[in-house]
């Protein structure tokens, strides 16, 4: 499809949703012959029938039903950027922002983001999703999520990202562990069973040899969905885990565990927000990123 034919997308969506050429023409404020011409052009482009005539108008073919979600999403994304560029006012906006984040960021950071937003933008809402995504680029390009909060991406990517906080990692074990006192050595680290946060799409840990070579030597006995799911397993066993210190701090009163320094050198865990470059200069998106940065800074200063 040529750039000059992109105006066919809203016409297709109008025909599909109205299921009547006259109503689609009225909705688009164009003539019915123009709608018919656009439909014929679309049929030529796809080399597939798109609609069948009925007594009351038209009904979509199976092919049209298949392509409608992508067409509707393209139209929605385009119109939303226009609206955001021209009209965004946080005081009156009713936007719903979608954020997918790693579990460590969902306990303190996201609630603080919501607090900051509610103080100045009472009509704006958040949808905070678990990080159940493998294709960040696709999810951000199609605006399934506005922002992803995760560890800094490894390797090259066309996505934009910005580090918003750094987390100290610590060892966590039950407070009355039979063999661990106030410190843990490397032999103990490797001999004890480990509880880890699992990547949902693979049998891999959130932390791996990319962060420290020795982690591949761990004996992983339990893979948990998130940080908070690790703590009851650790509290009721002799297993240990590696956690961001802020996550332990959040739940220290609920679980009878203790914190120990790592038995090796490891850089602080970088948390970043990731977004599609097409959203970089969008006013509403810039506003959301600013709130996330402020929330992350406040959490890090505790």
Is this structure's pTM higher than 0.75? no
Residues of the chain with CATH 3.40.190.10: 96-158+276-300, 169-267
Q: Where are the alpha helices (DSSP H) in 88-185?
A: 103-106, 109-120, 136-141
Fold topology of 96-158+276-300: D-Maltodextrin-Binding Protein; domain 2 (3.40.190)
Parallel/antiparallel/unpaired status of strands 269-275 and 51-53: unpaired
Residue 105 near residue 271 (C-beta atoms within 8 A)? yes
149 contact partners, CB below 8 Å, separation of at least 6: 99, 100, 101, 102, 105, 109, 110, 164, 271, 272, 273, 274, 292
β-strand pairing of 219-224 with 257-260: unpaired
CATH fold for domain 169-267: D-Maltodextrin-Binding Protein; domain 2 (3.40.190)
Q: Give me the CATH code for the 7-82 domain, please.
A: 1.10.10.10
Q: What is the mean pLDDT of each run of 10 residues along the chain (302 residues)?
A: 72 92 89 91 90 91 92 78 67 91 85 95 92 80 88 81 90 95 92 84 48 72 87 95 85 89 86 91 92 90 64
Distance CA 120, CA 270 (A): 29
Instruction: Give me the residue label for tokens 């939303």.
Output: 80
């Amino acid at each position: 499809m040529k750039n000059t034919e992109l105006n066919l997308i809203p016409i297709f969506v109008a025909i599909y949703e109205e299921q009547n050429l006259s109503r689609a023409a009225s909705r688009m404020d164009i003539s019915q012959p123009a709608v018919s011409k656009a439909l014929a052009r679309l049929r030529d482009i796809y080399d597939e029938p798109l609609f069948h005539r009925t007594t009351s108008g038209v009904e979509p073919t199976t092919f049209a039903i298949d392509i409608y979600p992508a067409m509707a999403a393209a139209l929605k994304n385009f119109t939303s950027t226009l609206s955001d560029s021209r009209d965004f006012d946080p005081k009156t906006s009713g936007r719903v922002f979608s954020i997918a984040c790693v579990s460590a960021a969902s306990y303190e950071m996201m609630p603080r983001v919501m607090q900051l937003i509610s103080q100045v933008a009472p009509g704006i809402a958040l949808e905070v999703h678990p990080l159940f995504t493998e294709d960040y680029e696709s999810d951000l390009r199609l605006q399934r999520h506005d922002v992803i909060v995760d560890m800094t991406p490894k390797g090259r990517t066309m996505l934009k990202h910005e580090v918003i906080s750094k987390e100290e990692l610590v060892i966590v074990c039950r407070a009355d562990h039979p063999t661990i006192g106030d410190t843990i050595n490397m032999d103990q680290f490797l001999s004890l069973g480990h509880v880890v946060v699992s990547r949902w799409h693979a049998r891999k840990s959130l932390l791996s040899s990319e962060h420290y070579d020795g982690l591949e030597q761990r004996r992983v006995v339990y893979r948990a969905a998130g940080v908070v799911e690790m703590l009851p397993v650790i509290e009721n066993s002799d297993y240990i885990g590696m956690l961001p210190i802020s996550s332990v701090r959040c739940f220290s009163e609920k679980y009878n565990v203790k914190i120990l320094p790592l038995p090796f050198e490891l850089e602080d865990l970088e948390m970043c927000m990731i977004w599609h470059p097409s959203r970089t200069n969008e006013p509403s998106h810039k506003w959301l990123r600013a709130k996330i940065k402020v929330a992350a800074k406040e959490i890090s200063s505790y």
